[in-house]
Homo-oligomer: A and B are copies of this chain.
Amino acid sequence: MYPFRNDNVFLRNCWYVAAFNNELDAGPIERVILDEPVVLFRMADATPAAMFGICPHRYYPLGRGKVVGDSIQCGYHGFEFDGRSGSCVKIPSQNAVPGRFRQKIYPAVEHGPWIWIWPGEPELAHKDLLPPLAEIGVLQPDWRVDHVGLLPTAGRAQLLVENLLDLTHVAFLHGAFVDGAAFLQHPVEIVEQPLQLMAHRQMRSAWVAGFYDLLFGPQHRFQGSHLAETQTVFYSPGYIRTNSGVIHEIEGRDSVDRSVFGEVRFHHILTPETAQRTHYFSTMSRNYRLDDNGYSIAMGKLDYDVRMQDVVAVGEIEGNLQRFSMHGPELLARSDAASMRVRKRMQEMLDAERL
A-side interface residues toward B, CB under 8 Å?
35-37, 52, 54-61, 64, 74-79, 88, 91-95, 98, 101, 104, 166, 168-169, 171-173, 183-185, 313, 316-317, 320-321, 323-324, 326-335
- List 29 A-B residue pairs with CB atoms under 8 Å apart, sorted by A's residue number: A37-B320, A55-B331, A56-B328, A56-B330, A56-B331, A60-B313, A60-B316, A61-B316, A61-B320, A74-B172, A75-B172, A76-B173, A77-B169, A77-B173, A77-B333, A78-B171, A79-B331, A91-B333, A92-B168, A92-B172, A92-B185, A93-B183, A93-B184, A93-B335, A94-B185, A94-B334, A94-B335, A95-B185, A98-B331
Give which listed residue, B76, B185, B316, contacts A313 with CB less than 8 A.
Answer: B76
A36 touches B324 (CB 8 A): yes
Chain A binding surface, main DSSP class: loop
Q: Closest approach, in angstroms, between the C-beta of A10 and any C-beta of chain B? A: 14
Give which listed residue, B54, B183, B185, B329, contacts A324 with CB less than 8 A.
Answer: B54
Task: Tell me the nearest residue of chain B to A65, going by C-beta.
Answer: B172
Q: Closest approach, in angstroms, between the C-beta of A120 and any C-beta of chain B? A: 16
CA distance A52 to B334 in the complex (A): 24
Hey, which chain B residues are within 8 Å of A79, CB to CB?
331, 333
CA distance A273 to B291 in the complex (A): 55
Hey, which chain B residues are within 8 Å of A321, CB to CB?
59
Q: Closest approach, in angstroms, between the C-beta of A12 and any C-beta of chain B? A: 15
Of A37, A55, A75, A172, the most chain B CB neighbours within 10 A belong to A172
For the complex of A and B, 3 pairs with smallest distance between CB atoms = A56-B331, A93-B168, A93-B335
Q: Closest approach, in angstroms, between the C-beta of A269 and any C-beta of chain B? A: 22
Hey, which chain B residues are within 8 Å of A323, CB to CB?
37
Hey, which chain B residues are within 8 Å of A75, CB to CB?
172-173
A76 touches B172 (CB 8 A): yes
Q: Closest approach, in angstroms, between the C-beta of A11 and any C-beta of chain B? A: 20
Hey, which chain B residues are within 8 Å of A316, CB to CB?
60-61, 64
Task: Tell me the nearest residue of chain B to A101, going by C-beta.
Answer: B331
CA distance A328 to B316 in the complex (A): 37
10 A-B pairs besides A36-B324, A77-B173, A78-B172 with CB distance below 8 A are A56-B328, A56-B330, A57-B330, A58-B317, A60-B313, A76-B169, A79-B331, A79-B333, A93-B184, A93-B335
A92 touches B184 (CB 8 A): yes
Of A77, A94, A104, the most chain B CB neighbours within 10 A belong to A77
Hey, which chain B residues are within 8 Å of A326, CB to CB?
59
Of A35, A76, A101, the most chain B CB neighbours within 10 A belong to A76
Hey, which chain B residues are within 8 Å of A184, CB to CB?
92-93
A333 touches B54 (CB 8 A): no
CA distance A98 to B331 in the complex (A): 9
CA distance A52 to B327 in the complex (A): 9
Hey, which chain B residues are within 8 Å of A64, CB to CB?
316
Hey, which chain B residues are within 8 Å of A166, CB to CB?
77
